[in-house]
C-alpha cells in the first residue's frame, strides 16, 4: 500500500487545517514558555490525593472523560500552571483504580556507581535492597554528555536510528524488579524483589512496579551526574513495543524527567481507550488483558459495561506525559492491538497539548504492512523527527497524524469527545 494513504496531510483534511491555524504567533510564544522536560520525577508530589467516592457514586460516562475536569467535578483546568495539579490527580486515580502504588523513594536511599559502561543502582528501602544494572552503549562519535534512549525490556526500534544520531542507549531489564509472565496465570505474584521490599503492596500490578524500577535507574543517573555517566539528563527518551510499549508509556507518564516517550504498538491497556475498545472485535480490552499487569480489582470493579464508571481512560494516561513529547506507533494488521481505539484515544489526548499551544509535541503513526514490532522504513521519518527535535534539539516537523485512510470516517473520534 502506498505511503500516500498515510501521509501527514491526508488524515482528515479539516483536522490538519485546524492544527495549522493554531500555529500562530500566540502559540509560538506559548511553546517557548512551556518546559520540554523537568528535573524531578513528579512535579505534582506536593498535591494531596483526590477523594475516591464509593462505586455507586461514580458517574456513568459513556464517552471519554474530560481530562481537564478536576476530580471533584467542580470546574476544570484553565491554564498550564494548573496542569501539574490535574496531572497529579490523574496519576493518583490510575494508581488507585488500575495499577497500584508506585512508592516514592528518597535520593538518600539511592546508591549509584559505574562499573565500566554499566550503571549499577542500589535501592535501600524497608531493610531490603534491590540492585539494578544496565549497560550504557555510548556513541562512537559526538561529544558527551549524550542524549539517551532507554528500551523498556528491549528496544525494538532500529538501532541505526540512534547510532546515526550519536544517541546513547540502554535497556531497562524489568525482571530485576518483577518478572511477571506476559500472558497466562500469575508467575508467583508476591515473590519478586519488589514484593520483598514492599510486602504490604499485595494488590499492585506489574506496571506500577516496573515504572518504579525505571525511575530508580534515572535516580542513579541523576545522582552520579553527567561528568560520571556522560549522559544528558535533560534529553532522555524511553521506548518499548507490545507489552513493553505499555511499559514505556507508564514509565514515561510517571516520571517527568523523560523528555520523549515512544510507545510502539502498545495495544490495549496502553494508549487504546478502555471504553472504545469494547465497541471493537477481538481486541485486548479491560476484560481481556493480563491481570499480572494490573490490579485484579480493576476487572472485578470495572469489567464489561461498568467500564463507563471508571473516572478516567487511557487518553489521560497519555496526557500525563504533557507537556513532554509522545509518539504513538501502531500496526493495524494486528486486530488484538486495538489500533482504532488508540486512534480515538490519541486524538482525545492531543486536545491537552493543544490547549497549552504545544500540539507539535504529540503524534501518532498507524501504518500497516509489517510484522509486529518490526518498524518499516516508511515509518522511519516520524521516529527520526521526534528524535531530532526532542533528544537533539533540532528543528523538525513533529505534527504527525498518520492513520489508515478509512479511520477518520470509520472511527470518528469526535462523538467520544464531549468536552
What is the mean pLDDT of the segment spanning 2-13?
38
Supply φ then ψ for residue 59, to 5 degrees.
Answer: -70, 150
Please give the share of the chain, as a percent, with pLDDT higher than 70.
91
* 375 and 381 Cβ atoms separated by less than 8 Å: no
For the chain, give the percent of residues with pLDDT over 90.
Answer: 89
Grid cell, residue 315, equals: 487518553
- What pLDDT score was predicted for residue 191? 80
Whole-number pLDDT of residue 31: 63
Number of CB atoms found within 10 A of residue 146's CB: 22
Domain assignments of the chain as residue spans, ordered by start: 3-416
DSSP, collapsed to helix, strand or coil, labels residue 239 as strand
Q: Phi and psi dihedrals of 219, rounded to 5?
A: -55, -45
The pLDDT of residue 181 is 72
* pLDDT tens per residue, range 206-252: 999 999 999 999 999 999 999 999 999 999 999 999 999 999 999 99
Planar angle of CA 187, 191, 196, nearest 5 degrees = 150
Tell me the pLDDT of the chain averaged across its residues. 92
pTM of the model: 0.93
According to the model, what pLDDT value does residue 185 have? Answer: 60
Where is average pLDDT lowest: 124-128, 185-189, 302-306, 352-356? 185-189
Mean pLDDT of 330-348: 98
Which of 334, 411, 284 is CA-nearest to residue 11?
411
pLDDT, position 324:
98
Report whether pLDDT(32) > 50.
yes
Which three-class secondary structure state does DSSP give residue 376? coil
The yes or no reply on domain 3-416 and CATH 3.40.50.850 is no
Q: Which of 28, 29, 9 is nearest to 17 (CA)?
A: 9
Amino acid at each position: 500500500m502506498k505511503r500516500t494513504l498515510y501521509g501527514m496531510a491526508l488524515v482528515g483534511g479539516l483536522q490538519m487545517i485546524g492544527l495549522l491555524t493554531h500555529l500562530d504567533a500566540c502559540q509560538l510564544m506559548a511553546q517557548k514558555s512551556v518546559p520540554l522536560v523537568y528535573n524531578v520525577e513528579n512535579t505534582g508530589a506536593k498535591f494531596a490525593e483526590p477523594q475516591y467516592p464509593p462505586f455507586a457514586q461514580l458517574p456513568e460516562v459513556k464517552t471519554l472523560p474530560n481530562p481537564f475536569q478536576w476530580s471533584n467535578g467542580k470546574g476544570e483546568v484553565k491554564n498550564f500552571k494548573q496542569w501539574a495539579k490535574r496531572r497529579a490527580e490523574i496519576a493518583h486515580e490510575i494508581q488507585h483504580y488500575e495499577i497500584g502504588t508506585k512508592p516514592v523513594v528518597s535520593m538518600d536511599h539511592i546508591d549509584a556507581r559505574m562499573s565500566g559502561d554499566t550503571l549499577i543502582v542500589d535501592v535501600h528501602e524497608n531493610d531490603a535492597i534491590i540492585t539494578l544494572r544496565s549497560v550504557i552503549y555510548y556513541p562512537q562519535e559526538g561529544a558527551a554528555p549524550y542524549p539517551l534512549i532507554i528500551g523498556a525490556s528491549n528496544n525494538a526500534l532500529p538501532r541505526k536510528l540512534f547510532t546515526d544520531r550519536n544517541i546513547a542507549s540502554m535497556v531497562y531489564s524489568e525482571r530485576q524488579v518483577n518478572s511477571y509472565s506476559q500472558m497466562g496465570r500469575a508467575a508467583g505474584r508476591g515473590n519478586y524483589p519488589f514484593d520483598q521490599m514492599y510486602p504490604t503492596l499485595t494488590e499492585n500490578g506489574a506496571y506500577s512496579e516496573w515504572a518504579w524500577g525505571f525511575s530508580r535507574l534515572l535516580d542513579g543517573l541523576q545522582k552520579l551526574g553527567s561528568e560520571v555517566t556522560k549522559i544528558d539528563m535533560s534529553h532522555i527518551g524511553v521506548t518499548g513495543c507490545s507489552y513493553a510499549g505499555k511499559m514505556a508509556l507508564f514509565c514515561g507518564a510517571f516520571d517527568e524527567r523523560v523528555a520523549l516517550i515512544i510507545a510502539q504498538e502498545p495495544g490495549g491497556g496502553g494508549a487504546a481507550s478502555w471504553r472504545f475498545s469494547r465497541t471493537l472485535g477481538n481486541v485486548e480490552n479491560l476484560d481481556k488483558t493480563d491481570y499480572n499487569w494490573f490490579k485484579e480489582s480493576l476487572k472485578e470493579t470495572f469489567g464489561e459495561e461498568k467500564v463507563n464508571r471508571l473516572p478516567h481512560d487511557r487518553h489521560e494516561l497519555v496526557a500525563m506525559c504533557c507537556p513532554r513529547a509522545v509518539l504513538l506507533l501502531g500496526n493495524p494488521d494486528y486486530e488484538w492491538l486495538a489500533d482504532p481505539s488508540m486512534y480515538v484515544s490519541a486524538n482525545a489526548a492531543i486536545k491537552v497539548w493543544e490547549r497549552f499551544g504545544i500540539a507539535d509535541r504529540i503524534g501518532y503513526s498507524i501504518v500497516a504492512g509489517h510484522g509486529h514490532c518490526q518498524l518499516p522504513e516508511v515509518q522511519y521519518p516520524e521516529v527520526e523527527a521526534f528524535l531530532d527535535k526532542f533528544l537533539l534539539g533540532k528543528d523538525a516537523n513533529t505534527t504527525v497524524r498518520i492513520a489508515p485512510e478509512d479511520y477518520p470516517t470509520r472511527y470518528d473520534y469526535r462523538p467520544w469527545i464531549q468536552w
